[in-house]
Amino acid sequence: MGGSHGRTDRIDILEDLSLCEITLCTVCSHSCLDKSWKQGIGEDSMFKKILVATDASEQALRACREAAGMAKAFGSEVTLIYVVYLPPMYKTDVGPGIRETLVDDGKEILQKSKEEADASGIEAKVKLIREGNPAEVIVKESKSGAYDLIVMGSSGLGRAGALQLGSVSVRVADDADCSVLIIK
């Protein structure tokens, strides 16, 4: 097995799959699934519904691209989610104008992520959550929407934001009932 872009390494992709080869692409900077690995994928796919948590970070855009590639390979449905986050100390001090600005920012971020997904040839749904703790909301949505996989970036708001939030990706990975793919 092997792809045409980069080198091939054996890695354990998911608990439910045996070891298989995947091409680590040096051209496009993400994994390119080998065609032989994708054979037989379709209605019986283990990833029928993929939830992609997005924000303004480069890791989130990479996660969106990776999820789009997986959706094409597995024939999956993709939903992009953005959660407007207000730290507890700001909830009482922030006026409605600021809240609406944050919601508008979220809409722009979702639009950019949707354009990434559309460019990959899939049609993604979008969900904007007006306010909440990102990790809690993502986990709750994954459960209520019966998602099979959550895909997200390793850090969203930069190092300072990650420290402030306590690492959303780690909390989601710990609390979710489904598989979580964290993209660096």
- Of 173, 180, 174, residue with least CA distance to 51: 180
pLDDT at position 184 is 84
pLDDT at position 32 is 44
Question: Between vectors from CA 130 to CA 125 and to CA 131, what angle results, nearest 5°?
Answer: 125
Say if residue 11's pLDDT is above 50. no
Q: With pLDDT > 70 as the criterion, what percentage of the chain qualifies?
A: 66
Measured distance CA(180)–CA(14) in Å, rounded: 10
pLDDT at position 79 is 97
- Of 1, 11, 117, residue with least CA distance to 67: 117
Q: With pLDDT > 90 as the criterion, what percentage of the chain qualifies?
A: 45
Q: What is the dihedral of CA 98, 142, 13, 181, to 10 degrees?
A: 10
Q: Which has more pLDDT, 38 or 121? A: 121
Averaged pLDDT of the chain = 76
Name the pLDDT band for 159 (thresholds 50, 70, 90).
very low
The answer to whether 54 touches 109, Cβ cutoff 8 Å, is yes
DSSP-assigned beta bridge partners for residue 129: 83
User: Which domains are seen in the chain, by residue range?
Assistant: 1-39 (no CATH), 41-183 (3.40.50.620)
Name the pLDDT band for 131 (thresholds 50, 70, 90).
confident
Measured distance CA(73)–CA(38) in Å, rounded: 6
DSSP-assigned beta bridge partners for residue 151: 52, 181
Average confidence (pLDDT) over 131-140: 94
- The Cα diameter of the chain in Å comes to 58
pLDDT at position 54 is 94
Burial of residue 146, with CB atoms counted within 10 A of its CB: 0-12 exposed, 13-18 middle, 19 or more buried: exposed
Which secondary-structure segment (H or E) carries 178? Answer: none
Burial 26-44 (b: 16+ CB within 10 A, else e): eeeebbbbbeebeeebeee
Which of 44-48, 126-130, 147-151 has the largest mean confidence? 147-151
pLDDT at position 88 is 73
Say if residue 162's pLDDT is above 70. no
